A and B are shown apart, each in its own frame.
Chain A
Amino acid sequence: MSTYDIFTTDVLVVGAGLAGERAAIEAAEHGHNVIILSLVPPRRSHSTAAQGGMQASLANSAKGAGDNPDVHFADTVKGSDWGCDQEVARLFAETAPIAVRQMAYWGVPWNRVVAGKKTLPDGSEIYDDPEKEGLITARNFGGTAKWRTCYVADGTGHSLQYAMDSVVIKLGITVHDRTEAISLIHDGTHCNGVVARCLRTGKLRVYLAKSTVIATGGYGRLYGASTNAIINEGTGMSISLETGVVPLGNMEAVQFHPTGIVPTWILITEGARGDGGYLLDKNLHRFMPDYEPVKKELASRDVVSRRMTQHIRKGFGVESPYGPHLWLDIRHLGAKHINRNLREIANICRNFAGIDPVHELIPVRPTQHYSMGGVRTNINGMAYGLEGLFAVGEAACWDLHGFNRLGGNSLAETIVAGMIVGKQIALYTKEATLNVSSTGIREFVGEQEDRIQKLVNCSSGNENVYQIRREMENTLMEHVGIFRTGEALEKAVRKLDELYRRSQRVGLQSSGQGGNPELAAALRITGMVKLAYLIAAGALAREESRGSHYREDFPKRDDVNWLKRTLAYWPKGADKPIFEYENVNCTELPPGDRGYGEGSSQNAGASAASK
């Protein structure tokens, strides 16, 4: 057995996005030693890609007047289609304003209220109070009763991540970037750290900690068309699942964003519609008001995505070599507004599609965007199944989002959860001791070394990792998308079952030495296929429609049987997952009508057709 470096610390945070860094800061401020691991330098984390904004009920902007945590809470619960944990949502809504203000204190240049009269694109007038001049302003986002989304031009995630990382640097928190956690070290009841692979040298390392935090973000890249960064492969979730004792919650809840640009799937932020952009079909008809007369383009994401797909299915899509799409029109906002407030969108259109949005229409289609599911935790952020294991951010199912996340609630979750869970981690760590034997460690390292050996020597087979990956992506895209049916899902499960077996027979074509990228991909593939399996199988089992999970064969929400959270386990050595269910905590707001979405019928489309 080869030698490996061992690092010991109080708190080990796997992931340097907003959630991971915020939790790390909280733990460090409580006096703990913290090490952060990340695939990439922290400032390259996927959080920087968030453009639109972060929700908090500051009530400073004209259209935010009267907002408060109660309203934010209600929006969040409705948005989740009553799938969220209401205690968590309450705690979240109360803390979000503090989080936004603290980020301001740490340097985020939030856009501010400019007093005076303004005309909105729809012709209505608003008046910003001079008393509020210079306070943090907000923009409109889908699914919210008030303008609540605080923003920094359209680089909100970027500015947040840079400010957050500046605090990490200031506090001198250790960061090991280009380091990938590939396995948890645990004894069946306690988590003691991780085995990691250095992506620079390919060497294995051991990190031991009293508390281990999964903050690895989403799994978007399981899908072929995703707005996510290419490092979002759900590894944090899969190494947790791999323990056999930690369940993943609600993995079938996958959000699609209405506007991914065709064909690179880069996100055109909701800000484009919030600022007054329209969706048009092939006849250049603005169809959303036909389906959603009140919220129009700004109904919640799942609804808009579904309406778009519905409209395309009716034959109103624009044909293209990459499949049918619709148009996003922001031309009427004017060159000045587009080049200043929506600059990044304009750049994306120009650089990646050769389109000038000031004069041209933008081709868009619903695209995988967010994973509501993740490592299931309690309200303190501790994972089910293993003590000393925590999860925050998109990697977690804390469960703030239920079956649909509202735009702007995710950035808010990363930071709010980072604060709250970070504090719980600090408290837990104070009492905890590190109890791990060297044989225990060796066992976990040995297991990984074996895997690597097998891959390098091709001793289990010669399957091509990229081939399997592509088949997995296509399976999810085709059968586990926005509209789901039992039949298609069964197909998907069968295919994923096959891919799971094949993934265990992967062998490398290259040498696998040093920071070899093929080896990195091969080490992840089985875990990724498992996650895909959970998504498909969980969706097949859930015979209702809720939030982003829409079953054509069960189009209604079913609170009697399915007001439940899915918990998926993959027992050690098993060749398929098992599902358990737990009740959803509805402490304040009983299930009701969302006021948008399925309630308003399919017929609306018919009237669209006749127009």
Chain B
Amino acid sequence: MELQKTTTSSKLEFAADVIQLASGVSLALFLWTHMIFVGSILFGVTVFNRLAAFLEDFYFLHAAVIFIIIAFIAHVGTVLRRIPGRWKDQKIVWQHAKTIKHGDTWSWLFQVVSGSAILILATIHVFVVVYGGIDAKLSSARMHSPFLWFYLSLLILGEYHASVGMYRAAIKWGWMKRQTAKRVFGIATLIFLVIGLVTIGTLYMLGGAV
């Protein structure tokens, strides 16, 4: 055994893995819940506005922002150790994926890519929403602008990352068999993509004209 190993706590790596799991899963659950909230626009502008007001009044919004900040830090902090840091390792991993042509290996690489993209996109998004405020008028105005592309990318990347992340967590911990997990999270992705697209469409149609 090497000196470094005997002198560092052997629990650290375990703790990191658990935090990664907890932060990832709660972020995924957050995303899905939030999709449903935003989706309330489908029931009309009033519903959406009331819900937004309700969340603000009872400080849910603040709670959500605090949660997001903590979860992001925790998640990024733990996940970074997984991302091949050195250029050489990056090359090996991509080359490897190309050689062995293996689905789950590719999906992990895209998880890294989508995660990195989300880091930037979601940070901007949260800033904009929190400082700009939430109501149907504002939201749909944001949507009816070049920002539309921003949201479409965030939706697809976010969904992809959340679903693949949940799938991976489920099989790593053995909550499900792989086939089952693939089916369950495949269906979940489909549902949330549809909700998301319809929501974006509705907001776009409103186009700030509320």
Do A and B come into direct contact in the complex, CB within 8 Å?
A: no
Residues of A within 8 A of B (CB): none
Residues of B within 8 A of A (CB): none
